[in-house]
Amino acid sequence: MPELPEVETVRRGIEPHIIDMRIKTLTLSSKKLRLPFPANMASKLQGQTIKSIARRGKYLLLHLSTAQNLIMHLGMSGRIQILHNTLINFHYNQSLNPKHNHVIFVFINGKTMVFNDPRRFGMVDLVADNDLWERPYLKHLGAEPLSNNFTAPYLKTCFKNKTASIKSALLDQRIIAGIGNIYANEALFDAYINPLCPAGMLDDMRIENLVYCIRKTLKAAIDAGGSSLRDHRQADGTLGYFQHHFKIYGRAEKVCLNTDCNEKICKIQQNGQSSFYCPQCQKL
């Protein structure tokens, strides 16, 4: 599922193809994503040039020539692909089912960018510059985990008196922007913290180490090109490969990978999501 590293991988993958590109036509599907498409989006985007592409949490922000921003969220199963020759690639590319194409950008140079999302948990929005950070889904986002704002004192303040589990706290986008279920599991394993541990119970040393482990986990995933687990592919259509490096996610009943630990990995449900942990290594 696209989390911060996958979204960053997509951002880097599509950036060289779309910067300074003018949109010739934009086609929208009739199906609604998590939010309906903004009114007249196709006509508003036609003729605009993409000036830059940024990321905030799991959101992609495309800055347009007319002080507007196209915002995209990949949800659970969203993909973005650049197709150099529309007809040929559509025909031979088995990975994208065209019936789940929701936004098709055709640029003046003939290149095509497709937003495809079978489960339709994704989202597309169009916002003027002066309204951008007032959008509720952006306004309340917490620290970027790879920025200088993400520090142990910051996390300590967020976790103060929190009775909710550390696992659900890591998934709270108002605290940290961009972590999803997979990397929450991986970071907690790396930090030797049990996902059931109440966030407010962590002492300074463990929080310090957790900050380090979150950064390390996310950076490693970005370096590996993002995971391609189930639905994710890089922008050029090639598979990422970080899924081979999961130390804990999806390893229920398998032996813990830590040296000298022979314990079996446990799988539990927390807030409707699967958590994996080693009961020996990860302390409450």
Q: Return the number of the residue (1 or 256) whose C-beta is nearest DNA.
A: 1
* CB closer to DNA out of 112 and 181: 181
Amino acid at 172: D
Query: Does residue 93 interact with DNA by CB under 7 A?
Result: no
Among 11, 34, 55, 264, binds DNA (CB under 7 A): 34
Please tell me whether residue 127 binds DNA under the rule CB under 7 A: no
Helical (H) or strand (E) element with 103 = strand 101-107
Q: CB-wise, 175 or 191, nearer to DNA?
A: 175
Confirm if 267 and 275 have CB atoms less than 8 A apart: yes
Residue 61's nearest CA partner among 148, 134, 122, 132 is 132
Question: Least distance (Å) from DNA to the CB of residue 86?
Answer: 21
Residue placing its CB nearer to DNA in the complex, 24 or 55: 55
Q: Is 21 within 8 Å of 111 (Cβ atoms)? A: yes
Q: 51 is written with which tokens?
A: 């000036």
2 a catalytic residue: yes
Site string (235-264) toward DNA, x via CB under 7 A: ------------------------------
**Segment near DNA (CB under 7 A); pick from 15-23, 84-92, 93-101, 209-217:** 93-101
Q: Which is nearer to DNA, 7 or 14 (CB)?
A: 7
Say if CB 80 and CB 72 are below 8 A apart: yes
Opening angle at CA 110, ends 105 and 111, nearest 5: 55
Rounded to 10 degrees, what is the CA torsion of 245, 250, 254, 255?
A: 50
Query: Does 154 participate in binding DNA (rule CB under 7 A)?
Result: no
Residue 16 touches DNA, criterion: CB under 7 A? no
DSSP collapsed to 3 states, 155-174: HHHHHCCCCCEHHHHHHCCC
Among the listed residues 278, 275, 274, 284, the one whose alpha carbon sits nearest the alpha carbon of residue 255? 278
For the bound state, the minimum distance from the C-beta of residue 35 to DNA, rounded and expressed in Å, comes to 8
Residue numbers annotated as active site: 2-3
Positions in the binding site for DNA (CB under 7 A): 1, 3, 34, 57-59, 73, 75-76, 97, 99-100, 118-121, 136-137, 162-165, 168, 171, 173, 180-182, 200, 267, 269, 271-274
